[in-house]
Amino acid sequence: MTGKTIEVTCKCCPDKFTARVADRNRGWAQFCSKSCAAFFKAYGKRRGHQTAQMRAVAAVKNQLERERRSDYCADEFDSPFGEFEDHNKD
Is the pLDDT confidence value at 90 over 90?
no
CB-side neighbour CA atoms (13 Å) of 87: 1
Q: At 68, is the pLDDT very low, low, confident or very high (cuts 50, 70, 90)?
A: confident
Closest CA to 44 of 19, 17, 11: 11
Q: At 7, is the pLDDT very low, low, confident or very high (cuts 50, 70, 90)?
A: very high
pTM attached to this predicted model: 0.49
**Domain ranges, ordered by start, for the chain:** 5-76
31-63: pLDDT as tens digits:
998 988 988 898 887 776 666 777 788 788 878
Q: How many CB atoms lie within 10 A of CB 21?
A: 13
